[in-house]
Structure 1
Amino acid sequence: MTTTLRAIRAGLLVPLALLLAGAAPAAHGAPGHGLPGNWLRLAVTRGDARVGDAPGVLLLCDPPRGHAHAAQACRQLAAAGGDIGRIRSRAGAMCPMLYAPVTASAHGAWDGRRVDYTHAFSNSCVMGAETGAVFDLSG
């Protein structure tokens, strides 16, 4: 075998090994994502926009970062066992009866379980009252 052929094979084996290593599920993340611990990709769309069109943020909770209110959002998620639908509603929230629809979506992993959440709310005030700081993506 020539030196050139060996160099080409060696050059292909390293990227192939890295590709295969990245394809293995992470021990504590969702399959294929390779992120450890508890994390969610969050997005909020307004009106008729599709959920995939909205820019999102990555909320990481081990330690809390990547989100304007990461510590508070992670505490609320921890209290709800990572289930956004179980977050305690804000007591006494007074939201206007204004129809300005928003759709909140979250995808990621919590305590080794996959999280897929999408819910439409009548307006952003109602969304905040029902989901706490999780979808408060304002800085």
Structure 2
Amino acid sequence: MRLIPYAPALRGLPVRGALLTTAALLLTTPTAPAQAAPEPYQGNWVYVSVTAADARSGAPATARGTLLLCDPPQAVGHREAVRACAELADVRGDLQALPARPDAVCPMRYAPVTARARGEWGGKLVQYTETFPNECVMAARTGAVFTLAETAPAEVPGPE
């Protein structure tokens, strides 16, 4: 084994040179712009949910929801995914613009439900929340978008 004599004058020189070289490279290397994290779902999709509260009994609210994918239309726990996607396509994902059914006749029963939707449509963020006096009024105002199955699905479809 050969020993290299200690030279205090050279101590730290290779480290300083490496640091200066690295700094110079970092300053002269062009950087790429930051990329947004990819969305888990491609195309048009909306997570829709309905929360019902029993105002008279004070029971806790019950909620059910599902992921509605529209390229192609599919959803676990949604009774009318194809129709809901077609209605959303007609208004370009703007749930406020969904046409109300003028021929709907709903009972004057107070059983409030809150409809919520969040997702992406045509590259734009979709967010919607509205409380209705009952499910009939909600369906008359929002069409098939919130036509969920009676029980929440065990799993939602994932991106492919």
Tell me if both proteins adopt one fold, taking TM over 0.5 as the criterion: yes
> When the two structures are superposed, what TM-score results if normalisation uses the length of structure 1?
0.72
Structure 2 counterpart of 1:42 = 48
- Unpaired stretches in structure 2, ≥5 consecutive residues: 1-34, 55-59, 151-160
The amino acid of 1:96's aligned partner reads: P
CA deviation string 1:52-93 (max 9, x = no partner) = x72310000000001321110001001111011111111310
Dislocated runs of 4+, deviation >6 Å: none
The amino acid of 1:65's aligned partner reads: Q
> When the two structures are superposed, what TM-score results if normalisation uses the length of structure 2?
0.63
Instruction: Tell me how large the CA RMSD over aligned residues is.
Output: 1.9
The amino acid of 1:25's aligned partner reads: A
Distance 1:73 1:107 in 2: 14
1:25 matched to 2:53: no
* Conserved 8 A contact 1:39-1:58: yes
Structure showing greater radius of gyration is 2
- Unpaired stretches in structure 1, ≥5 consecutive residues: 1-22, 27-32
Normalized per residue, which structure has more helix? Answer: 1
Task: Report the number of matched residues.
Answer: 109
CA deviation string 1:25-56 (max 9, x = no partner) = 33xxxxxx321000011110001656xx7231
Query: What does 1:1-139 correspond to in 2, within 5 Å?
Result: 24-26=36-38, 33-47=39-53, 54-66=63-75, 67-138=78-149
**How much identity, in percent, do the aligned residues show?**
50
* Conserved 8 A contact 1:25-1:34: no
Distance 2:42 2:79 in 1: 20
